[in-house]
Amino acid sequence: MTIKSLPAAPAARPRADVSCDLMPKALERWNPAIRAAVEEENSISIFDPIGYDWWTGEGVTAKRISAALRAMKDADVVVNINSPGGDVFEGLAIYNLLREHKGKVTVRVLGLAASAASFIAMAADEVKIARAGFLMIHNAWTIAAGDRNEFKEVASFLEQIDGTLADIYSVRTGDPVEDMHALMDVETWMGGSDAIERRFADSLLDTDATKDDANALAAPMIAARRLDQILAKQGIPRSERRSLIQELKAGTPRATDPGKPCAADTPADLAVPIAELQAALARFSAAASK
């Protein structure tokens, strides 16, 4: 497989008010602590959601990947991936950047390459995946607002995106586009060996290629992501989730000097509202099912 034979992808966003969000199941199955045991000289890490990430202040953006590739010039590059996916349009832009890179591109799926991260992986000349790693593909989905005509416009564009993704997967695997659409329609998860059998990946990584880095994310950030995951499962839009979490943090009194970390930033303070919210959502679900 050569990236030169892969189709280019449209990267333009159809409307300024169309936004993408993480799939709750992908976020739930993502272990952000999985990292590469050894970082190669020319390597790029995709260890966060695709697109702007509210938690880190940046996330994995096309701007960041473009800068990294420019610094490497035409050298061979290794792309380490452990991501739950994210913004499909940002992902397509990153896919195009890797596809157009003149050096050899090797993708290593260390943990999860879901959604947008899965088709980014397809831009590689060679895809390696951990035995315990996963690839997940599905139809493009988004959040939009407007009248029926505007929704028709967005739906039409998403259909084009699905066609592009199915084409990318088809060229990579050698299977018919119709088969790719079928896999995307039902949201298909593939373990390491399964991904190789289906030809989404070429080989398994060595067992010592990954490590579990407990310090990969600060505990407060992990707790906040858990809270975000709970809210996402309830269908609450991203903007409302961010606002609620900010309110929860701001509502905890500062117990230290102004120059020291706020008590609201400790795991215990975030764990309490998470537990309370879980209990409230459980009560809501129980009442709704009656």
Residue 229, CB half-sphere, CA atoms under 13 Å: how many? 17
Question: 78 — phi, psi (to 5°)?
Answer: -110, 130
Its pTM stands at: 0.77
Q: What angle do CA 14, 15, 18 make, to 5 degrees?
A: 105
- Specify whether 208 is located in the same domain as 231: no
Last residue of a domain, one of 212, 245, 268: 212
- Specify whether 177 is located in the same domain as 241: no
DSSP label of 107: E
- Specify whether 55 is located in the same domain as 184: yes
Q: How many whole angstroms separate alpha carbon 164 and alpha carbon 119?
A: 10
- Specify whether 126 is located in the same domain as 23: yes
CB atoms within 10 A of CB 113: 33
Collapsing DSSP to helix, strand or coil, 207 comes out as coil
Q: How many whole angstroms separate alpha carbon 114 and alpha carbon 26?
A: 7
Collapsing DSSP to helix, strand or coil, 91 comes out as helix
Last residue of a domain, one of 212, 239, 256: 212
- Specify whether 50 is located in the same domain as 182: yes
Query: For position 76, which CATH number holds?
Result: 3.90.226.10
Q: How many whole angstroms separate alpha carbon 53 and alpha carbon 61?
A: 9
- 50 forms beta bridges with 60, 86
Collapsing DSSP to helix, strand or coil, 225 comes out as helix
- Specify whether 203 is located in the same domain as 270: no
Task: Tell me the pLDDT tens digit for each residue of 146-202.
Answer: 788 988 888 888 898 899 999 999 999 999 999 999 999 999 999 999 999 999 999
Last residue of a domain, one of 212, 239, 254: 212
For the chain, what's the residue count?
Answer: 290
- What pLDDT is recorded for position 276? 61
CA 200 to chain centre: 17
Q: 239: domain range?
A: 219-288
- Specify whether 259 is located in the same domain as 181: no
User: Which of 245, 214, 216 is closest to 229 using CA atoms?
Assistant: 245
- pLDDT < 50 positions in the chain: 1, 252-267, 288
- Specify whether 144 is located in the same domain as 251: no
- Specify whether 157 is located in the same domain as 247: no
Q: Which amino acid is at 249?
A: K
- Specify whether 115 is located in the same domain as 223: no
DSSP characters over 115-160: THHHHHHTTSSEEEE-TT-EEEE-----B--S-HHHHHHHHHHHHH
Which helix (H) or strand (E) element contains residue 113?
A: strand 105-114
- What pLDDT is recorded for position 231? 72
- Specify whether 176 is located in the same domain as 202: yes
- What pLDDT is recorded for position 259? 42
- Specify whether 84 is located in the same domain as 131: yes
What is the domain count for the chain? Answer: 2
